[in-house]
Amino acid sequence: MKLLITPRAGRELSDIAAYFKDVNPSVGQKVRDSILESLKTLEVFPFIGRRQSHSRVWKYIAGKYRYIAYYSPDIEKNEVRILSIRHPARAPRFTNR
């Protein structure tokens, strides 16, 4: 499967890296890279996450920093679309069933 990151998720990932970069410049890139590396798992196991209230949205805990990635797998298109990446302390974009 191909991994696609939506513009929203891309902005959120950039914001996460920028936040950590303000604290420690080398950490921002490490957090970003860790999240992206973890998301690659979805290319092989697109249904590894937990289904959310919206029927096509799943939740996956990405990387050792525990960020939540909301995504939508599409078998017909052979792609996994990353919709949002959020810190677990923030309000969820979608809810569990």
67-74 vs 58-62, strand pairing mode: antiparallel
Coil/strand/helix, residue 54: coil
| Residue 83 DSSP class | E
Q: Looking at domain 2-86, which CATH architecture does it have?
A: 2-Layer Sandwich (3.30)
pLDDT value at 71 more than 80: yes
Q: Where are the beta strands (DSSP E) in the chain?
A: 2-5, 50-51, 58-62, 67-74, 79-86
Residue 26: per-residue pLDDT: 84
Please report, as a single letter, which amino acid is at residue 83: L
The pLDDT of residue 95: 62
CA distances in angstroms from 91 to 17, 25, 28, 50, 85, listed in the order given = 19, 27, 22, 17, 12
For residue 90, pLDDT beyond 80: no
pLDDT tens-digit series, residues 6-63: 999 999 999 999 988 888 888 888 999 999 999 999 999 999 999 998 779 999 999 8
